């Protein structure tokens, strides 16, 4: 890791939140206690993702009392990925931590994870909540989700969706998180070239205040987001390599099928070509192949001229 400059904190802690007014003060005090005990220089970035309770008032009070605390407030709820993406852009620390605001992630894990990044050279260290305080209706789908994600992406983590993670600053500055893709940041980072990804067993605290903000919809949208990431990682900058190749293969297969039917009609059979199902299959293959080829060509044009994608409406910033 490069030498640390004096004008940058050692650690940035990025915490997106939604309606967590009850836990913020306690979380702040816990994080500050860990930082002071270990003599870390730090910044704490709290992103209010459109809360309807008094979360922003608490953040304002914390920012006034502690110069290491900054706050960003969205005009509406954009989702966790938007909060993380903006927090990553604002972060200045050499190592960037993310955690949830519900007190289920323990800040006391920070020193060990920080050491893994700084001393052992990991690009990402992901928390692994080996023992969870969640109902079985949540733990079993989570285990299945983690298994499938690891198998498809090649990123071997037991707890892909754990909110407690540590990143080299280069990682968070090199990736973009949007939609529901916060669950797959290690996969996104791997495709960006950061391949030393580790994990550490961390404590999972039982929820003390409020209710979970994530429902069963994540098990519907999650696999779709994973497929999107896998495709964008391989073909995001070269869509012609996917659509063009497969379009050409399908189109040529259709042409060959139609050619064989034509020769068969001329030399071997008296049955009309239009009376054979293979004739319509061949036409369909040619049409689909041409469409895929055109889609790849248009994708190349779009990818080479696309502007920056996401702008989030920030209401206030401290």
pLDDT at 18 over 90: yes
CA end-to-end span of the chain: 30
Q: Is residue 166 part of a domain?
A: yes
Final residue in a domain of this structure, among 210, 235, 260: 235
Long-range contacts of 148-155, Cβ-Cβ distance < 8 Å, separation of 24 or more: 148/223, 149/184, 149/187, 149/222, 149/226, 152/226, 152/230, 153/184, 153/187, 153/190, 153/226, 153/229, 153/230, 154/190, 155/186, 155/187, 155/190, 155/197
Query: Average pLDDT for residues 146-164, to the nearest whole number?
Result: 83
User: What is the average pLDDT score of the chain?
Assistant: 85
Q: Evaluate if residue 159 carries a pLDDT over 70.
A: yes
pLDDT of residue 24: 96
Domain presence at residue 6: no
159 and 217 part of one domain = yes
> Residue 2's pLDDT is what?
47
Residue 136 pLDDT > 90: no
Q: Are 206 and 263 in a shared domain? A: no
Residue at 316 is within a domain: no
User: Could you tell me if residue 108 is inside a domain?
Assistant: yes
Residue 308 lies in a domain: no
Asked whether residue 27 is domain-assigned, the answer is: yes
Q: CA nearest 18: which of 182, 176, 211, 206?
A: 211
Residue 203 sits in a domain whose CATH number is 3.90.550.10
Mean pLDDT of 308-316: 63
Contacts of 3 (CB under 8 A, 6+ apart): none
For 230-258, write each residue's pLDDT tens digit.
676 667 667 888 888 899 999 999 999 99
pLDDT tens string 52-101: 999 999 999 999 999 999 999 999 999 899 999 999 999 999 999 999 99
What number is the average pLDDT over the span 277-281?
89
The model's pTM: 0.73
Supply the pLDDT for residue 49: 95
Q: Which of 235, 261, 286 is the last residue of a domain?
A: 235
Domain residue limits at 108? 11-235
Residues 215 and 143 grouped into a single domain:
yes
Is residue 202 situated within a structural domain?
A: yes
Domain boundary among 235, 255, 288: 235
Q: Is 94 in the same domain as 130?
A: yes
């Amino acid at each position: 890791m490069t030498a640390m400059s004096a004008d940058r904190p050692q650690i940035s802690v990025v915490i997106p939140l939604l309606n967590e007014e009850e836990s913020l003060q306690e979380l702040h005090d816990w994080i500050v206690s860990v930082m002071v005990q270990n003599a870390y220089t730090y910044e704490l970035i709290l992103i209010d993702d459109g809360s309807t309770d008094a979360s922003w008032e608490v953040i304002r009070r914390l920012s006034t009392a502690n110069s290491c605390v900054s706050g960003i407030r969205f005009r509406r709820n954009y989702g966790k990925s938007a909060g993380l993406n903006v927090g990553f852009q604002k972060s200045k620390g050499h190592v960037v931590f993310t955690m949830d605001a519900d007190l289920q992630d323990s800040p006391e894990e920070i020193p060990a994870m920080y050491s893994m990044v700084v001393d052992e050279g990991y690009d990402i260290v992901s928390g692994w909540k080996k023992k969870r305080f969640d109902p079985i209706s949540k733990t079993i789908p989570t285990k299945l989700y983690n298994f499938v994600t690891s198998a498809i992406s090649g990123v071997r983590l037991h707890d892909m969706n754990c909110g407690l993670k540590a990143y080299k600053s280069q990682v968070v500055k090199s990736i973009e998180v949007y939609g529901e893709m916060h669950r797959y940041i290690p996969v996104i980072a791997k495709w960006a070239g950061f391949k030393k990804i580790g994990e550490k067993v961390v404590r999972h605290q039982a929820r003390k205040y409020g209710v979970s903000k994530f429902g069963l919809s994540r098990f519907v949208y999650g696999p779709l987001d994973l497929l999107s990431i896998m495709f964008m990682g391989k073909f995001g900058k070269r869509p012609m390599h996917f659509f063009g190749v497969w379009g050409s293969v399908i189109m040529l297969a259709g042409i060959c099928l139609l050619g064989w039917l034509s020769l068969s009609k001329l030399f071997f059979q008296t049955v009309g070509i239009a009376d054979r199902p293979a004739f319509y299959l061949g036409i369909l293959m040619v049409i689909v192949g041409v469409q895929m080829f055109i889609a790849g060509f248009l994708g190349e044009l779009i990818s080479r001229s696309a502007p920056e994608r996401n702008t989030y409406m920030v209401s206030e910033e401290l």
